[in-house]
């Protein structure tokens, strides 16, 4: 058995394969874009066949670079959570489009269930709220609106993206790890098992669902790349990033700024309870024992910069945003509330629309771009307030994801949150966490603490913004958010 670890990092906008050495060195990366399908306002779909085809292609490239499957100790998979795939067990082909976590088509269904009083029980059982974000309402909608799913009968398989990839890699193993299962709205978070009452509420056929397993294996082997390779690590992307940031002790917090932004605070073996509309989730499960986290989710982060580039044409590349933000002393009073896919925590307003306020003839492109970047820290501060109210305030925040390569944004987070912000030299911690789990499952590490040595050096940003400027900006932001909510 080799020592290299192959990670399949299945994101919302791309799929990539990365090779890691046990000391944390990234030895190679191949990436391809995933097509975003928007058949209507608020609707977001993927083609699961495309996800598999491109994932296989980038993984094959990394296996060749490694010198063959015999050089690879194990595969780890991290994936966009909540996105749900429907496929045929016999043909192994998708039966319908994959419904992406950003999709809002079930807002009316979730509202009706809230009005019928179902949310308190769901939150108590799952740690989640009734929102289109989670998989359960997506499955319910699909079963009611796509007749081919019901017609498939016992051939129907339903799973999140890691479940789909494991099925394709192994030729029929149907499993999901506890972190992804905890994001469906169908798993009882305390027991780690599918909940019959929730399955009935959302009309989900139990026989179509995967078996819930640990985050570190081994789970099975793939022959998709020639020599057999064990699949030994599975986790949702945000839980993988929490592990990659070595948030292994209660109170340690990380924020990932990718397509969306997701903050998790490690909570230990006790299930957290939020009174301020945060989420309780499984941080990881090993040997049947779960560690938990408190989570806040922002739906629009890096996708806002992509929108500025692709839809508005304000920038040619994301790299331009730092220089534009630095070119003006402030946003000139411009506020951008990026509710392009509704608002997530702590507001949970799925039908909210984005708003751009404070424009004058003096407003220019740089002010709009700076307001977009400032929105990242503004939204994060809302979450910090909610975490503090739930007794889990942050005293240091570890950040990662593609957006935080921007030094201006990292400093702005430290300034507005008024705490040190820590950025690792290797910011792709989602992939790193999946590698750590794969190494643990393959026996390269004794435990997560030993695997934590893969993380490497970090850089710290300290707050330097005057208190009155911070308070003024937060007051302006609060007014802008209220206008969107109202």
Q: In whole angstroms, what is the distance from residue 182 CA to residue 202 CA?
A: 16
* Encoded tokens for 212: 């819930």
What confidence tens digit (pLDDT) does each residue in 181-227 have? 999 999 999 999 999 999 999 999 999 999 999 999 899 999 999 99
Of the pLDDT bands very low, low, confident and very high (cuts 50, 70, 90), residue 449 is very high
| pLDDT tens column, 388-397 | 999 889 999 9
Give exposure, 116-142, as e/b (b: 16+ Cβ within 10 Å): eebbeebbebbbbbbbbbbbbbbbbbb
Residue-wise pLDDT tens digits, 148-168: 999 999 999 999 999 999 999
Q: pLDDT at position 1, please? A: 64
Residue 97 lies in a domain: yes
CATH number of the structural domain spanning residue 104:
3.30.420.40
Q: Is residue 386 part of a domain?
A: no
Helix (H, G, I), strand (E, B) or coil at 230: strand
pLDDT over 70 percentage in the chain: 100
Question: Is 147 a domain residue?
Answer: yes
Q: Give how many domains the chain has, as a whole number.
A: 1
- Tell me how far CA of residue 22 lies from CA of 6, 31, 78, 437, in angstroms: 11, 21, 17, 11
CA distance 309 to 318: 7
Is residue 186 a contact partner of residue 208, using CB atoms and an 8 Å limit? no
Distance from the Cα of residue 361 to its chain's centroid: 38
Nearest by Cα to 187 from 220, 159, 224: 159
Return d(Cα 460, Cα 471) in angstroms, integer.
Answer: 23
410-431 pLDDT, tens digit per residue, is 999 999 999 999 999 888 899 9
Mean pLDDT of 437-460: 93
Could you give the CA distance from residue 233 to residue 228 in angstroms, rounded to a whole number?
16
Arithmetic mean of pLDDT, 26-51: 94
Residue 217: inside a domain: yes
Q: Is the pLDDT of residue 302 over 80?
A: yes
Is 246 inside any structural domain?
no
Looking at the predicted structure, is the pLDDT value of residue 486 above 80? Answer: no
Within 10 angstroms of residue 276's Cβ, the number of other Cβ atoms is: 16
| Distance of alpha carbon 148 from alpha carbon 136, whole angstroms | 18
Q: What mean pLDDT value characterizes the chain? A: 93
Q: What angle do CA 103, 108, 110 make, to 5 degrees?
A: 80
In-domain check, residue 304: no
pLDDT digits (tens, 9 = 90+) for 318-349: 889 999 999 999 999 999 999 988 888 788 88
Largest Cα–Cα separation, the chain: 65
Residue 463 in domain: no
pLDDT number for residue 352? 86
Q: Report the pLDDT averaged over residues 55-71.
A: 95
Question: 160 lies in a domain?
Answer: yes
Q: What digits encode the pLDDT tens for the residues 65-110?
A: 999 999 999 999 999 999 999 999 999 999 999 999 989 899 999 9
Chain centroid offset of residue 292 CA: 16
Q: Report the Cα–Cα distance between both ends of the chain, in Å, rounded.
A: 59
pLDDT above 90: percentage of residues in the chain = 81
pLDDT of 401: 85
CA 224, distance to chain mean position in Å, is 26
Task: Tell me the β-bridge partners of 230.
Answer: 221
Per-residue pLDDT at 289 exceeds 90:
yes
Domain span holding position 57: 4-238
Strands, E, within 320-467: which ranges?
335-337, 355-357, 397-400, 421-424, 458-461
User: Residue range 19-32: average pLDDT?
Assistant: 94
């Amino acid at each position: 058995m080799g020592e290299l670890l192959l990670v399949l990092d299945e994101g919302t906008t791309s799929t990539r394969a990365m090779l890691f050495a046990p000391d944390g060195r990234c030895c190679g990366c191949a990436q391809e874009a995933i097509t975003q399908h928007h058949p209507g306002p608020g609707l977001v779909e993927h083609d699961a066949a495309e996800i598999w085809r491109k994932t296989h292609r980038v993984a094959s490239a990394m296996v060749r670079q490694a010198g063959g499957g015999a050089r690879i100790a194990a595969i780890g998979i991290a994936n966009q959570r909540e996105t749900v795939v429907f496929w045929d067990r016999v043909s192994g082909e998708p039966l319908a489009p994959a419904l992406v976590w950003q999709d809002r088509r079930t807002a009316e269904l979730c509202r009706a269930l809230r009005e019928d009083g179902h949310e308190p029980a769901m939150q108590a059982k799952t740690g989640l709220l009734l929102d289109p974000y989670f998989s359960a309402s997506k499955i319910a909608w699909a079963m009611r609106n796509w007749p081919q799913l019901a017609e498939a009968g016992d051939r129907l398989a339903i799973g999140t993206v890691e479940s789909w990839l494991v099925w394709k890699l192994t030729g029929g193993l149907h499993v999901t790890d506890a972190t992804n299962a905890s994001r469906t709205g169908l798993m009882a978070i305390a027991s780690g098992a599918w909940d019959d009452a929730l399955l009935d509420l959302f009309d989900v056929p139990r026989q179509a669902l995967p078996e819930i397993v640990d985050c570190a294996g081994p789970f099975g082997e793939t022959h998709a790349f020639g020599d057999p390779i064990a699949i030994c690590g599975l986790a949702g992307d945000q839980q993988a990033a929490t592990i990659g940031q070595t948030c292994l002790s209660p109170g340690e917090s990380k924020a990932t700024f990718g397509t969306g932004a997701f903050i998790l605070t490690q909570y230990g073996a006790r299930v957290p309870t939020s009174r301020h509309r945060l989420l309780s989730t499984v941080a990881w499960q090993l040997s049947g024992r779960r560690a938990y986290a408190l989570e806040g989710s922002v739906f629009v982060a890096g996708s806002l910069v992509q929108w500025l580039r692709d839809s508005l044409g304000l920038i040619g590349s994301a790299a331009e945003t730092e220089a534009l933000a630095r070119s003006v002393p402030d946003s000139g009073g411009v506020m951008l509330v990026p509710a392009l896919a509704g608002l997530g925590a702590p507001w949970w307003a799925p039908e909210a629309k984005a708003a751009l306020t404070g424009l004058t003839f003096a407003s220019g492109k740089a002010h709009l771009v700076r307001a977009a970047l400032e929105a990242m820290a503004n939204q994060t501060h809302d979450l910090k307030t909610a975490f503090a109210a739930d007794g889990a305030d942050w005293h240091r925040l570890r950040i990662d994801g593609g957006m935080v390569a921007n030094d201006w944004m990292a400093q702005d987070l430290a300034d507005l949150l008024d705490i040190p912000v820590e950025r690792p030299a290797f910011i792709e911690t989602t992939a790193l966490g999946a590698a750590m789990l794969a190494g643990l499952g393959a026996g390269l590490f004794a435990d997560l603490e030993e695997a934590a040595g893969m993380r490497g050096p970090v850089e710290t940003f300290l707050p330097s913004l005057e208190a009155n400027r911070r308070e003024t900006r937060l007051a302006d932001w609060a007014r802008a958010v209220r206008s969107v909510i109202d």
